Amino acid sequence: MRKGRGFFGNMQYLCGKIGKYMKIVGIGNALVDILVKLPNNQILDELGIAKGSMNLVDETVRDAVLKKIPGAERQMTTGGSISNTMLALRKLGEPSAFIGKVGNDEQGEFYLNELQESGVTMHVIREKQPSGTAVAMITPDGERTFCTYLGAAANMQKQDLKPEHFEPYTHLYVEGYLVQNHELIESVMKIAKEKKITVMLDLASFNVVRADQNFILHLVDSYVSILLANEEEATALTGKSAVGAINEIADKVEVAIVKEGDKGSLVKFGQELIHVPVHRKIHPVDTTAAGDYFAAGFFYGLIHDASLKKCAEIGSLLSYYIIQVVGTKLQDNVWTEIQNRVNKIVEQ
């Protein structure tokens, strides 16, 4: 059942301890994305891969997928759901940190340099196995389908977690993909609970949720205060459509967020259900990181004591910008424009 503290007690808990600034650390798979633009859905059909899904593969299968699409346009960028959110939050001027694992290879160096240059505090473990990579296949409708080789990221274990990874932070944002390692993800949440750190969870992918529904429900019931999901993930967790799903999830957590694509987003806190439309309906170039950027905007709103409606509006604004480009990055001049628009939402 949802933890009861009363309205003011709940918001105090969500936004940080009295007199202590809200600081977020994320933990997830450190990946380098290989972005590939496909002309149609044919290759996905030939590979037998569900459009919009995330599929864990080994190095051999990943290489086979890349060979299947030799003529496609490619781009390399930092990836991983949680690290995308931490990078976007840092670009908004807020401190953020990331816990993950990469290899001692070219991809690992690329990943670390990109995030460190952006100012994200890195609590990263290095090892000999190759760094994780995710082939993101982007169809003309902007939808992305992942074939992910986790590499070194998959070898992160609870023994890798150090007290200093958590000490300075009030909030922990956990990537749902980590559910593949039950011991790791529950250990992380237990540490947070012991340190009175607010746990926030992103459900990651509908097929991940379907494969481990009962364990995810256990984590949500036991540790999670803020849960983010898209409509497919929420349905996979509850068996219900968006409104029914968010009502059920909100009985278990403090704040439930269900993103409905171009229909906007739903946010529920207590008995209050809010619908926020998308910032503007456009044809997406690439939906990679749309949810990650929504989370960054939502958290920025929480940090600045905005209403939950404004938090979702800021999230929608960031999603609007990122779906207009291929990949997970925006130019500095775009971030300046975003910051100005975000400031207006907060100040309204």
Task: Give yes or no for residue 274 having a pLDDT over 90.
Answer: yes
Predicted local distance difference test score (pLDDT) of residue 263: 94
Predicted local distance difference test score (pLDDT) of residue 204: 87
Listed residue (47, 49, 97) closest to 69, CA to CA = 47
Q: What is the pLDDT of residues 111-152, one digit of tens each?
A: 999 888 999 999 999 988 899 988 888 889 888 898 989 999
Let me know: does 294 contact 316? Beta carbons within 8 Å. yes
Q: Map residue 43 onto helix, strand or coil.
A: helix
Beta-carbon neighbour count of residue 158 at 10 Å?
Answer: 14
Predicted local distance difference test score (pLDDT) of residue 14: 55
Predicted local distance difference test score (pLDDT) of residue 20: 44
Predicted local distance difference test score (pLDDT) of residue 8: 37
Cα–Cα distances in Å, from 225 out to 45, 175, 222, 294?
Answer: 38, 14, 9, 18
Predicted local distance difference test score (pLDDT) of residue 9: 41
Name the burial class of residue 276, with classes exposed (0-12), middle (13-18) and buried (19+) by CB atoms within 10 angstroms of its CB: buried
Predicted local distance difference test score (pLDDT) of residue 46: 87
Predicted local distance difference test score (pLDDT) of residue 85: 97
| Whole-number Å distance between alpha carbons of 34 and 87 | 18
Predicted local distance difference test score (pLDDT) of residue 1: 41
Q: What is the pLDDT of residues 16-69, one digit of tens each?
A: 443 347 899 999 999 988 888 888 889 889 888 889 888 889 888 888 888 888
Predicted local distance difference test score (pLDDT) of residue 15: 53
Task: Give yes or no for residue 95 having a pLDDT over 90.
Answer: yes
The contacts of residue 211 (CB under 8 Å, 6+ apart) are none
211 or 14, higher pLDDT: 211
Residues facing 173 on adjacent strands: 26, 200
Average pLDDT of the residues of the chain: 89
Cα–Cα distances in Å, from 24 out to 94, 113, 247?
Answer: 9, 20, 26
Position of tokens 């949500």? 220
Q: What is the pLDDT of residues 10-21, one digit of tens each?
A: 454 455 443 347
Band of residue 167 on the pLDDT scale cut at 50, 70, 90? confident
Q: What is the mean pLDDT of residues 156-171?
A: 91
| Whole-number Å distance between alpha carbons of 251 and 175 | 21
The DSSP 8-state label assigned to residue 201 in this structure reads E
Band of residue 6 on the pLDDT scale cut at 50, 70, 90? very low
Residue ranges and CATH numbers for the domains of the chain are 7-29+79-130+150-347 (3.40.1190.20)
Q: What is the pLDDT of residues 174-193, one digit of tens each?
A: 999 999 899 999 999 999 99
Q: What is the mean pLDDT of residues 87-92?
A: 96
